[in-house]
Structure 1
Amino acid sequence: MRVAFRKMHGIGNDFVVLDLRDGAPAPTPALARALADRHRGVGFDQLVTLSPAEAGSGADAVVGFLNADGSPSGACGNGARCAALLLMEESGRDSVALRTEAGLLTARRASDGLITVDMGPPRLGWREVPLAFEADVDAPPLSTPHPATAVSALSMGNPHCVLFVADAEAAPLETLGPALERDRLFPERANVEFAQVIDRGAVRARVWERGAGVTLACGSGACAVGVAAMRRGLVDRRVAVRLDGGTLTIEWPETPGAGVLMTGPAATVFDGELSAGFLAGVEAA
C-alpha cells in the first residue's frame, strides 16, 4: 500500500496534506512524528488532514491538524489557507468552508493570488484560553521569568501567549519558547509569540509553536499578535504582522462578535507517495 500526499507551505510554515476523503485511515501520532522527520521522512511543521464533511453541515471538508510531535492542534491558520487553496483548485470555486476543531472557517480568494480566512472571534476568557486558574488574560501571572514589557493570553482555537518586547530579533526564542510553552499557567501548553510594535500598521513577531518549535510563520499566532496589540490600542484594526517567513495581514473589525481575518499566500511544493516500506517501518517501530 502506498499513500499519496501533498507538500504545501504558507510563508515558510510547511505542511504535509493527507486526503482521507476516500476512506483512508487517519494518521497515528507515530506516523505524524515519522513524517515530520526532515531527514528520514518528508518534514513539516504540521500535518493537515482532509476528511469528508457531513451532508448539510455547510462545510466542504473537515480539516484536522497534528503537530510535528504527533499532538493535536486545534487551529492552524497557514494550514487552513493551504487546505482552502487545495479545495478551491479542485472545485474551481473562489470560496470554501472548512470544518475544524475550532469551528467552521470560511476562506475566499483575495487579490494578488492571496487567500483570506475568517479565523473566528478570539477567545478572551481565562477558561477559554485555557489558563490553569482564574487570572487576568491581559496580565497573566507567568511563573517563567521573561523580558516582556506586557503579556497577553488568548485563544484563536489554540492557546497563545503573546509577549511584547523591545526587540523581537533579540528574543531568546529557542530557550524561552519551550519554557513558556509549558508554563504551569497553560494546562494545554501554549504557542508563544514575541512581538515588537513597529508602528500603527506593523508588528514584527517571532514564533515558538506548541508541539513544533521555532517556525517561520504561524497564522493563528499572527492573529493572536494582532488581536493582543489591537486590544492594547497599540495598532490599528488592520495590521501587517511580519514573521520570519513573510507577512500576513490581520484585520479584526470592530463589529461585535466579528472574526479575525487573516490574509496571506499559500503554495503547493510537490505531490508524492509514501512507500509501503516507509509505512511498514512506522508500524514496526
Structure 2
Amino acid sequence: MMRQFHKMHGLGNDFVVLDGRVDPIVMTDALAKALSDRHTGIGCDQLILLSKSDVADLRMDIWNADGSGAEACGNAFRCVVKLAGAHTIETEGGIVEGSLGEDTVEVTLPAPSFGWDQIPLAYPLDTAELPMAWDELKHPMAINVGNPHIVFFADKVDERRLRELGPGIETDPVFPDRINVNVARVEDHGSLTLRTWERGAGLTLACGTGACATAVAAIRQKKAASPVTVHMKGGDLIIDWAEGQPIRMRGPATHVFTGTIDLEAFA
C-alpha cells in the first residue's frame, strides 16, 4: 500500500505527516513507532495523521516517536496549517485555529487549564507550585495546554541534566498520563530560554506546547509580560496570552520533502 507522506518541521521539531482525508489510513501505535524510527523507518519526533472532521476543516491525530499518543503538538499545528491551509483543526486537546502569515504561521490553542485533575495529577496538589523536587529541579508549575506540562524556572538551563532527570520526571507516578518537562531561564521581562523533555520523544530542538506552557507560567508568576519570545535550540516562538484567554503562538513551519512509503511493509 504505497502512500504519500510529507516530512516537515517546526524549528527542528520534525514530523511525518500522512493525509487520510480522501483515502483513510488505519494507524496503530506499533505502526507509528515503526515509521518514526530514525534508523529503520522515515524518522521523526511525532507522526501526524490527518482525517476528515465534522467540526473543523480537518482532524489531526498525533503519535510520539515511542508509539504513544499525544493530545496536542504546537509545532505540528503550524505545519498542518501550512500544508493543508486549514483554519480549524480538531484534536484530542480541543479545537485549534490557524492562519498563514507571510513568513510565519499563527495558531490559537484553547485556554490553559490549571486544576490538578485537568493536568491530570494522581491526587490533589497545588499546581501553581507542586511540593515536589527532582534534585535541583524544584517546585514546578503544572499546566495543561491541550497536553500536560510542568515548568521549572532555573538560573541555568542544563541540557545534560534535563537528559538525565527527564525520563524519571516524565514517568513519575504522580503523572498518570506522563508529563512534558520544561526547564526555563528568564532572560528579561519579554523573553525566556527553554529546553523541553517531551513525553514519548525525549529532548527535541523545540516544543510548541512547551513554549506555550512556559510563557503562561512566566506570565502567571509575573516573571514576564505578554508577548513572550521563547528561545529554543531550534529557534524562537512568540507567545501571546492573557488570563482566561486562549494562547496564541507564532513561528515558522517548514516543508522538507514529499515521499512515498509502503505502509504494509511496516505493519
Indicate whether the TM-score tops 0.5: yes
Residue 37 (str. 1) matches residue 37 (str. 2): yes
- Structure 2 match to 1:205: 194
Give 1:148's match in structure 2, choosing from 126, 137, 144: 137
Q: Does 1:282 align with 2:260?
A: no
The answer to whether structure 1 residue 137 and structure 2 residue 127 are counterparts is yes
Partner of 2:241: 252
Matched, 1:128 2:128: no
Deviation of 1:149 after TM superposition, in Å, equals 5.4
> Shift of residue 167 of structure 1?
0.6
Over the residues paired in the alignment, what is the CA RMSD in angstroms? 1.4
Say which of 145, 152, 157 aligns to 2:146. Answer: 157
Unaligned runs of 5+ in 2: none
Give how far 1:171 is off: 5.6
Aligned to 1:50: 50
2:87 equivalent in structure 1: 96
User: Residues 149 and 180 from structure 1, CA distance in 2 versus in 1: closer, same or farther, beyond 3 angstroms?
Assistant: closer
CA contact (8 A) 2:159 2:195 kept: no
| 1:77 alignment counterpart | 74
2:47–2:62 CA contact under 8 A, matched in 1: yes
Residue in 2 that maps onto 1:236: 225
Contact 2:71 2:147 in 1 (8 A): yes
Given the two structures, how large is their TM-score scaled by the length of structure 2?
0.96
CA contact (8 A) 1:171 1:194 kept: no
**1:146-196 Cα deviation digits (max 9, x unpaired):** 313541111011110111111114561111111110112111000001111
TM-score by length of 1: 0.90
Q: Would you say 1:62 and 2:49 are equivalent positions?
A: no
Aligned partners of 1:213, 1:237: CA distance in 2, in Å? Answer: 28
1:86 equivalent in structure 2: 83
What SS does structure 1 have at the residue aligned with 2:128? coil
TM-superposed deviation, 1:24: 2.3
Say whether residues 1:168 and 2:157 are aligned partners.
yes
Q: Which residue of 2 aligns with 1:270?
A: 257
- Quote the offset at 1:141 in angstroms: 2.8
Deviation at 1:109, TM superposition (A): 2.0
Q: Name the residue aligned to 1:119.
A: 109
- 4+ runs of 1 displaced by more than 6 Å? none
Contact 1:149 1:165 in 2 (8 A): no
2:248 is matched with 261
Give, in whole Å, the separation in 2 of the partners of 1:124 and 1:7: 34
Give the Cα–Cα distance (whole angstroms) in 2 for the partners of residues 150 and 100 of structure 1. 30
Q: Which runs of 5+ in 1 are unaligned?
A: 89-94
Percent sequence identity over aligned pairs: 43
Q: Which amino acid aligns with 2:92?
A: E
Distance 2:220 2:154 in 1: 16
In structure 2, give the amino acid aligned to 1:205: L
Alpha-carbon separation, structure 2, partners of 1:14 and 1:170: 19
SS in 2 for 1:64: strand
